[in-house]
Chains A and B, each alone.
Chain A
């Protein structure tokens, strides 16, 4: 009888452990189902939103592309930008004195450019305007102007060159 008494306690513990275990399992299942359902609803909403605003979203995507210069290689990119800036300076009657680049770091998609030039102030102002309009991937940070004569001087621009390496083989 003593054994039966002990066995009964064991059976009781086992039955209740199973019942409680199953209760928590079901609770987990309910929560999981609810979470998955909610996340699906959110995703469906997003999908609907994406479908509905496909045109606008494509515009945004295109617009954003402008802020990065898509280049196959950073060196090519820097040479290209140097060429473009030289052309712009020339067009605005400015002379390039020096151009310097900051460090190139892995995982960072921008490079500091330090450009020094001289000429007339109006040409410099035109150049700044052109940079903003034509090269949105160049982000001007600082400007230093030193007037040597009235409306003439030496100019220094510090800007950030934003680029994206795009493998042309892909």
Chain B
């Protein structure tokens, strides 16, 4: 982070944080609104920035909500804030919240920027740069600094910083920033002045929180400020000037920056609470996934690459295939099929001999037809007989012999045979399929 942008009603100061806070450039707000180009040129390469705005540009509101889910809360505020603050619709992009229990009611305390000047400045200077800006106030920074050393979580506390010609009064309730006041003080009567202003503010605090101020943390101007104020206000006052580190800024810097000048580099950079510009934060949330995705992707790629190299180098190369060998085996299989089909060919000479051997006397064949494929025999002939009984006897003997010879074949019975009366006796015609060679 190169610069801190310190905003006041009239000026924007560019602060350099290298060793100690130093003002490097000053811009008038009016000039920035009319011609922001000069400013933009200087910060265009910056990716992160801190904008410090006055405490009174911040407002807070409590919303009773049961959920603690970030996505629901943000969606709710995105819809709710523009309706609750119609004069600053951009507030939906600039807010931060903390979980809070207020008067036995759970909810969130939302901090948002109520100053419309901020939005016009932001639009002019930063909106198109997509710089991840963190917006904070001196009060947030002091709260963060004090929390590291003192108990701030419970009770209503006043932080009082008396310096040069001012007194900075900052009120916190249960660790939440309420409001602050900057009082111009007189060298001689400043204790009375401060105590009067503080008393006025106490009323406001008790109205808002229904609680009384319990403790005052003070960075005094003089040694006896603590006692004097404790007596006048009748509240416990703790001098913390020895317990925290306070730089010794130049008067000119204090005049410009006020109490902010008393914060050191680590207080500014390590502050945990700030108001982000939400669209960029949402965008930034993906950076983690992008980076993780790239790293994991590169790792996976490397593993895959190693695997590829492993395959190429470690795996033994396979010998080249000898072509034609497999076909040769296929040929043998077809040769075997041919041999088997040859073996299955019917022996027609044997078939004829078998049929002729079955013929008894008086039974004569005139035609024999043998068909291969499904082996089929058709026999046409006649039986030399004078009567049908004689035909029946002689023909039955023929069928019986056929059945005996062709054991596995179904030889038709007399009922299935076509019989005709002929001059020589009785003609017949029948066929059958053979299931054997």
Q: Do A and B bind each other?
A: yes
- B418 smallest CB distance to A (angstroms): 18
B59-67, B76-84, B161-169, B293-301: which lies at the A interface?
B293-301
Q: Mark A13-43, 1 if CB is under 8 A from B, else 0.
A: 0011011001101100110010011011011
| A11-B294 in contact (CB<8A) | yes
Given A25-B308, A33-B315, A121-B356, A64-B335 contact (CB < 8 Å): yes
Nearest B residue to A1 via CB reads: B130
| B308-A26 in contact (CB<8A) | yes
* B183 on the A face (CB < 8 A): no
Contacts of B332 in A (CB 8 A): 57, 60-61
- A23 smallest CB distance to B (angstroms): 5
Given A1-B131, A30-B311, A57-B332, A142-B294 contact (CB < 8 Å): no
Q: How far is the CA of A121 from the CA of B325 in the complex (A)?
A: 50
- How many residues of B are in contact with the other chain, CB < 8 A? 55
* A143 on the B face (CB < 8 A): yes
Nearest B residue to A124 via CB reads: B352
Q: How far is the CA of A126 from the CA of B189 in the complex (A)?
A: 153
**Interface members, chain B 315-358 (any A CB < 8 Å):** 315, 318-319, 321-322, 325-326, 328-329, 332, 335-336, 338-339, 342, 345-350, 352-353, 356
8 Å CB contact of B304 from A23, A33, A63: A23
Given A63-B339, A121-B356, A142-B370, A19-B294 contact (CB < 8 Å): no
Q: How far is the CA of A125 from the CA of B350 in the complex (A)?
A: 8
Contacts of A40 in B (CB 8 A): 318-319, 321
8 Å CB contact of B297 from A2, A15, A128, A140: A15
| B364-A150 in contact (CB<8A) | yes
Given A8-B294, A26-B307, A132-B345, A18-B301 contact (CB < 8 Å): yes
Given A26-B307, A33-B311, A50-B329, A143-B301 contact (CB < 8 Å): no
* A5 on the B face (CB < 8 A): yes
Given A12-B294, A142-B369, A145-B367, A67-B338 contact (CB < 8 Å): yes
Q: How far is the CA of A61 from the CA of B318 in the complex (A)?
A: 32
* A136 on the B face (CB < 8 A): yes
8 Å CB contact of B371 from A49, A132, A142: A142
Nearest A residue to B368 via CB reads: A145
8 Å CB contact of A147 from B132, B335, B365: B365
Q: How far is the CA of A61 from the CA of B333 in the complex (A)?
A: 10
| B318-A46 in contact (CB<8A) | no
* B290 on the A face (CB < 8 A): yes
| A19-B297 in contact (CB<8A) | yes
* A100 on the B face (CB < 8 A): no
Q: Which of B297, B328, B347 has the most CB of A within 10 A?
A: B297
| B304-A60 in contact (CB<8A) | no
**Interface members, chain A 125-163 (any B CB < 8 Å):** 125-126, 128-129, 132, 136, 139-147, 150
Q: How far is the CA of A49 from the CA of B47 in the complex (A)?
A: 75
| B345-A139 in contact (CB<8A) | yes
- B330 smallest CB distance to A (angstroms): 10
A5-B130, A12-B294 known; 8 new pairs, CB 8 Å cut-off, are: A12-B293, A46-B325, A121-B356, A128-B352, A132-B347, A142-B369, A144-B369, A146-B366
A-B contact pairs, 29 of them (CB 8 A): A1-B47, A5-B286, A9-B290, A12-B293, A15-B297, A15-B301, A19-B301, A19-B304, A22-B307, A23-B304, A36-B321, A40-B318, A43-B322, A46-B326, A57-B332, A60-B336, A63-B335, A67-B342, A125-B349, A129-B347, A132-B345, A132-B349, A139-B345, A140-B348, A142-B369, A143-B352, A145-B352, A146-B366, A147-B365
Closest 5 pairs (CB-CB, A-B): A15-B297, A22-B304, A64-B335, A128-B349, A129-B349
Report B's interface with A, CB cutoff 8 A: 47, 129-132, 283, 286-287, 290-291, 293-294, 297-298, 300-301, 304-305, 307-308, 311, 315, 318-319, 321-322, 325-326, 328-329, 332, 335-336, 338-339, 342, 345-350, 352-353, 356, 364-373
Report A's interface with B, CB cutoff 8 A: 1-2, 5, 8-9, 11-12, 15-16, 18-19, 22-23, 25-26, 29-30, 33, 36-37, 39-40, 42-43, 46-47, 49-50, 57, 60-61, 63-64, 67, 121, 124-126, 128-129, 132, 136, 139-147, 150
